[in-house]
Structure 1
C-alpha cells in the first residue's frame, strides 16, 4: 500500500469506488476492503495527513467533512439501528490521509494491528 492510498489511488481515479455521498471538498464511499459488513470511508479531497495535523485554515473543511460523516452515520443508523464512527492515529493509521470510518456490524476478520484491551 502507498503512504497515501486516498490521494494516490482514490482521488486520482486509479481505484474506482462506490460513492455514498460527495460534496465539493469531501468524498464518502464504500471501503474497498471492508472490515465490517457495512463499511464507509469519508475523506477530505485536500490532503491532510491526520487529525493531529489539522491547521486553523482547515476549519471550514473539517466542518464540511463532519457534516458528511453525520449524514452518512444517520443513513447507516436509520437502516441498521446503529453504527460506529472512528478514525485512527499513529501506527493504527495505515494511510497517512485523514479519513473516518462509518461502520456497522461485527468485524469480518481480525485487525492487522495489536488491539489493547479496554
Structure 2
C-alpha cells in the first residue's frame, strides 16, 4: 500500500497523528473532522495514498463504492436521522485542502438553516 510521508492523512493512517476514529478496516479509515462544518462531520479516506479524484480510475471503483455505501450506516450509527451531505473536493479549484482523496460526510441540524 502506498503512502506519502509528507501527507497528514497518511500519518493518521500510520498512527503518527492521533484521530477520533469511527471505523477502520484493511482499506478505509473514518475519523471525525477536526474543524467540523456540521454537528456530525466525519472523513472517509482510503488507507492507500491517492492524491486527488483525478488520480482514480476503474481500479478504484470498488473502494470508492464502499466509501459511498458506508456513509448512511455511519450517519445512523452517529445519530443522524434527518439527512446528510457527502462532499468530495478535488484539486485546487475544487477547494481540496489535503492532497489525499477523502469524502466528507456531514449531518445534523445546521445553525443557519431556516426552520
Where does residue 106 of structure 2 map in the other structure? Answer: 103
Quick check: 2:67–2:103 contact (8 Å CA) kept in 1?
Answer: no
Where does residue 90 of structure 1 map in the other structure? Answer: 91
Q: Which runs of no fewer than 5 residues in structure 2 stay unpaired?
A: none
Q: Compute the displacement of 1:43 (Å).
A: 0.4
Where does residue 38 of structure 1 map in the other structure? Answer: 40
Aligned length: 105
TM-score of the superposed pair, with normalisation by structure 1: 0.73
2:71 corresponds to 1:69? yes
Where does residue 51 of structure 1 map in the other structure? Answer: 53
Quick check: 1:26–1:68 contact (8 Å CA) kept in 2?
Answer: no
Where does residue 80 of structure 2 map in the other structure? Answer: 79
Return the structure number with greater helix share. 1
Cα RMSD (Å) of the superposition?
A: 2.5
Q: Which runs of no fewer than 5 residues in structure 1 stay unpaired?
A: 109-118
Counterparts of 1:40 and 1:12 in 2: how far apart (Å)? 18
TM-score of the superposed pair, with normalisation by structure 2: 0.75
Counterparts of 1:90 and 1:96 in 2: how far apart (Å)? 8
Instruction: Rate the CA distance shift 1:3–1:70 in 2: closer, same or farther, 3 A.
Output: farther
